[in-house]
Structure 1
Amino acid sequence: MAAEAPKQQSPPLKYTVTHNRKPTHTHEEFIAWLVNTHLPLALPVLKKHGVLGYELFVTPPFLSTALAAEMAVFQPTWDVSTTDCFIEYTIPDMQSMKDVVADPDWGVATRDQDEWVEMSKSLVSLGFSTSYLSGGEIVKK
């Protein structure tokens, strides 16, 4: 009987979520809630279920406004995002995120998100990430 070929490991997935704050909160209050209240509860759950990475890309309104003014000149047909942040999870597979959201501790970590997050405006995406430039150096052509 021939030995079974080893299962090929697929590259990690990137799972992103955008969040817009409720208008009753400032951008600064929203980010403070996310970092100081939500993340201390969320990170252990993510780690428990094999999430490989979590990055928070904060997009303050003053930068979005400045970018919109620049883009009006250089790329007038482009829309500038007004979201408050992008969250990027690096995951081995979708099962890890399914396990995260099924965990009762995730419910605790997200229990007050409806007070802070405009959930109907959230946008999710799933895909792969390839680096071509890192630390100022070309890493892939």
Structure 2
Amino acid sequence: MSETTKQQENKPIKFTITHYRKEGKTHEAFMKWLVEVHLPKAIPTFKKHGIIEYALFDTPAPMNKPLSEKMAGIRPTWQVADYDCIIEYIAPNPQTIDDVMGDEEWQQVLENQDE
């Protein structure tokens, strides 16, 4: 993880990622896998490392494309993202993110995510 100041080391941090489904998978199948398969495997690792909060935001293409087209006329410099979901974590401190990512259990959680 990048260097942090002493002041940042003990403050909660919001860590946000965007996630795309594998090519050939439907958005619905991807979200079903995420909620029914991935999350039940991931939650124990989150708890182990003290993740304070986890949020999943579904961003389906049928909503994104029309919004993107509308925004192009209203705010041409703005972009509407095309990913399938946003995952947001609130961790106790920046080190927690490194700890989760380096945990063997987390590697097992990610093992079959591209199937």
TM-score, normalised via structure 2 length: 0.85
Partner of 1:19: 19
Alpha-carbon distance change, 9 to 77 in structure 1, aligned in 2, over 3 angstroms: closer
Deviation at 1:80, TM superposition (A): 1.6
Q: Cα RMSD between the aligned structures? A: 1.9
One-letter identity of the residue aligned with 1:44: P
Q: Which runs of 5+ in 2 are unaligned?
A: 1-6
Partner of 1:128: none
Partner of 2:80: 80
Partner of 1:109: 109
Which stretch shows the higher mean deviation, 34-43 or 90-99? 90-99
Partner of 2:67: 67
Name the structure where helix makes up a greater proportion of residues: 2
* Length, aligned pairs only: 109
| 1:82-120 alpha-carbon deviations (Å, 9 max, x no partner) | 0001110001112212221222211221111233xxxxx
Q: Distance in 1 between matches of 2:11 and 2:107?
A: 29
3-state SS of the aligned residue for 2:64? helix
Q: Distance in 2 between matches of 1:33 and 1:19?
A: 13
Paired residues of 2:58 and 2:85 also in contact (CA < 8 A): yes
Moved over 3 A (4+): 7-11
| 1:63-88 alpha-carbon deviations (Å, 9 max, x no partner) | 10121122022112322210001110
Identity over aligned pairs, percent = 46
